[in-house]
Amino acid sequence: MSSNAEASSRAEVAANNGATAQGPTDGPRPAIEARGLSSGYGPQAVIREINLTVRPGEVVALLGPNGAGKTTTLLTLAGELPPLAGEVLMDGAVTKAPLHLRARKGLTFVTEEKSVFMGMSTRDNLRVAGIDVDTALELFPELAKRIDVRGGLLSGGEQQMLTLARALSRKPRVLLADELSMGLAPLIVRRLLDAVRRAADTQGTAVLLVEQHVRKALVYADRAYVMRRGRLVMEGSARDLASRIDEIESSYMSGAEGSVEGVDFLTN
């Protein structure tokens, strides 16, 4: 991608930093927001000057190639990494709380690694998290036949369903989801993303979804941001970005990033 094209896209983000970049200005207050956020590992900034919002009932996709800084963004929003500059807000209030305290306020973080106790049955995985089994099975009826099977014997798709069932059964106010679709069959991915979309529509969950598969993400998202080299370089409604899908895939999604990946690889 040429430096002129990248500069133009950054200018577009800056110009739209009001209603579009931050979501509709007349809508509900953002459930989670980043303002001028920079973060990384030690003194090394991996993401820089990030401005984004997710409102209740909204699915927002964060797109970009490997190493762009997407996972670092989620870790900082979740409270696992401290900001080097800027701030994170929940419900309009600046927060510096760690993840476990943000979780008490309704934030759930689904990491790329499936959060399953391998030696426990599906049933016990739900119970130990304080989740009603029937509620989880309403989300993913496929797990009913595997309810007494140990987590380590579930397929990758079943483990991800179990992970997401635990997250969504809590009716979170904010869901941060990192690469739900990685390595999974298209039918499983559809089931997972359907559940995420339904949580936003019926429970008012604010969802920030990190995804490499641009076309798939834009089907389910309301809005999206595109990240490259630790910065947001494009943003807009899912409909608008879908109309520019070829540009996005060729200019922003081809291959892993060089300058950031060496650091961001620690969390991807």
Supply the pTM of this predicted model.
0.85
Q: How far apart are CA 13 and CA 22, in angstroms?
A: 10
In this predicted structure, the answer to whether residue 259 has a pLDDT above a threshold of 90 is no
- Terminal CA-to-CA distance of the chain, rounded, Å? 24
Model pLDDT for residues 85-118, shown as the tens digit of each residue? 999 999 999 999 999 999 999 999 999 887 899 9
pLDDT of residue 255: 59
Q: How far apart are CA 98 and CA 14, in angstroms?
A: 30
Per-residue DSSP letter, 260 = T
Buried b (16+ CB within 10 A) or exposed e, 249-261: eebbbeeebeebb
Contact between 234 and 9 (Cβ < 8 Å): yes
Share of the chain above pLDDT 90, in %: 75
Of the listed ranges 7-11, 117-121, 206-210, the one predicted with least confidence: 7-11
> Residue 94: which H helix or E strand, with range?
strand 93-95
Residue with tokens 């979804």: 209
Q: How many domains does the chain have?
A: 1
Q: What average pLDDT does this structure show over 236-242?
A: 96
Q: Count CB neighbours of 179 within 10 A.
A: 22
Domain that holds residue 221: 3-264
Strands 59-63, 83-90: pairing is: unpaired
Q: How confident is the model at residue 166 (pLDDT cuts 50, 70, 90)?
A: very high
In this predicted structure, the answer to whether residue 216 has a pLDDT above a threshold of 50 is yes
Q: How confident is the model at residue 25 (pLDDT cuts 50, 70, 90)?
A: low
Q: What average pLDDT does this structure show over 67-83?
A: 96
Q: What is the CATH number of the domain that holds 84?
A: 3.40.50.300
> Residue 161: which H helix or E strand, with range?
helix 156-169
Contacts (Cβ under 8 Å, ≥6 apart) of 213? 181, 189
